[in-house]
Amino acid sequence: EKSYNIYIGHNLETTIIDFFKAQKYSQKALIITDTNIAPLYADSVKDLLTKAGFNAKIAIIPAGEQSKSLSVAETLYTQAIEHGLDRKSPIIALGGGVVGDLAGFIAATFMRGVPFIQMPTSLLAQVDSSVGGKVAVNHALGKNLIGAFYQPQAVFMDLEMMKTLPTREISTGLGEVIKYGFIYDHNFYTYLTEHQQEILQLKPEALIHIIARSCEIKADVVSKDECEAGLRAILNFGHTLGHAIEKETNYAVYNHGEAVAIGMVGASKLSFKLGLISQDVVDKMCQLLANMNLPLKAKNCNAQKIYQDIFHDKKTVNGKVNWVLLEDIGKVCIKKDVPEKLVKETILEIL
């Protein structure tokens, strides 16, 4: 697998210009962004590309998960063709996970694949969706059902952009950040507990550390298992219940990181019930999530439906749920045969 650089920091302008100048790309480029981000950042990114010698077109999609669809993809292919892109034209994703997944899907499929550059603007996109190479659009019958594995050629994370991100979206990203500590790195967990204030205040040093460490952990896990055979499954910690909660609330009440937070509380409680961890670890999970303004329980969900949804999760194979459970802070295991009774008890405790 070809490697690529992830640049994290402030004032990345020169780095970005130099990167584009150094590539052997065609002159036409497409910047894909959404209606919230375009007025804030699209012109300055276009200016950087102009300075690097490119003729870039800005394509703006409506903000929101609805845009991750084949019909929106089609409008983007049209714009790419009309602007005159060819096989060596770069496509730049400037936005959160929605833009990144959609633009990556376009880049993977347009002319059987064109150069793809990620400029993630949400914390979730920086710590999660822009790393690992999964790109996708949704189908009316399910999320992320149509997609590919497609790596970017570079990722640029400009931390200045965090300043305009709504605080709720910061917490969303922190849900996944906390996940990395619990599944992989006790020291990182400790860092998060000791720097909560700096993180919530978006202090540059703390932001750089949590983003860099999250990317490292995800890249480490993914590089050992790019196509999700085994290890990559640990990234799904908190997601089995989280996805069910998102679905039962029609993706309208909790955003992804919030649902994952509740799912991690559930997975911790289940680990405790199975005797894998002490109550103290469950409490530490709840404490850190609460301090980062994340929910611990889901309102207005039906326990029976949550239980059924678990078996319809994309990652459930042959009716067997692969539970990612905690053995300690920083260590997980995967269990297939968890007693129904314990799962049902756990669900009731997170509603």
Determine, following the binding rule CB under 6 A, whether residue 98 of this chain makes contact with ligand NAD: yes
Determine, following the binding rule CB under 6 A, whether residue 169 of this chain makes contact with ligand NAD: yes
Residue selected from 99, 178, 221, 222 as contacting ligand NAD according to rule CB under 6 A: 99
Number of residues located near ligand NAD, criterion CB under 6 A: 29
Of the listed 243, 247, 269, 273, which one is catalytic?
A: 243
Whole-number Å distance between alpha carbons of 270 and 342:
7
Whole-number Å distance between alpha carbons of 209 and 40:
25
Nearer Cβ to ligand NAD, position 101 or 248? 101
Residue selected from 109, 118, 172, 346 as contacting ligand NAD according to rule CB under 6 A: 172
Name the residue type at position 226. E
What angle do helix axes 167-184 and 279-291 make, rounded to 10 degrees? 160
Residue selected from 5, 50, 164, 187 as contacting ligand NAD according to rule CB under 6 A: 164
CB of 300 vs ligand NAD, minimal distance in Å: 22
| DSSP assignment string, 145-209 | EEEEE---SEEEEEGGGGGGS-HHHHHHHHHHHHHHHHHH-HHHHHHHHHTHHHHHTT-HHHHHH
Of the listed 36, 46, 57, 176, which one is catalytic?
A: 176
Determine, following the binding rule CB under 6 A, whether residue 302 of this chain makes contact with ligand NAD: no
Whole-number Å distance between alpha carbons of 10 and 339:
49
Whole-number Å distance between alpha carbons of 321 and 346:
15
> Between β-strands 28-34 and 91-95, what pairing exists: parallel, antiparallel or unpaired?
parallel
Interface segment toward ligand NAD; rule CB under 6 A; list 78-86, 149-157, 164-172, 224-232: 164-172
Please give the structure tokens belonging to residue 40. 């804030």
Determine, following the binding rule CB under 6 A, whether residue 175 of this chain makes contact with ligand NAD: no
**Could you confirm whether 176 is annotated as catalytic?**
yes
Of the listed 198, 216, 226, 228, which one is catalytic?
A: 228
CB of 159 vs ligand NAD, minimal distance in Å: 10
Please give the structure tokens belonging to residue 176. 């996944």
* R_g (Cα) of the chain, nearest Å: 20
Residue selected from 12, 36, 185, 215 as contacting ligand NAD according to rule CB under 6 A: 36
Using DSSP's 3-state secondary structure scheme, residue 65 falls into: helix
Could you list the active site residues?
112, 134, 176, 218, 228, 232, 236, 239, 243, 256
Task: Kindly list the residues in this chain that would bind ligand NAD in the complex (CB under 6 A).
Answer: 34, 36-37, 40, 63-65, 68, 95-99, 101, 121-122, 124-125, 128-129, 132, 134, 144, 161, 164-165, 169, 172, 256
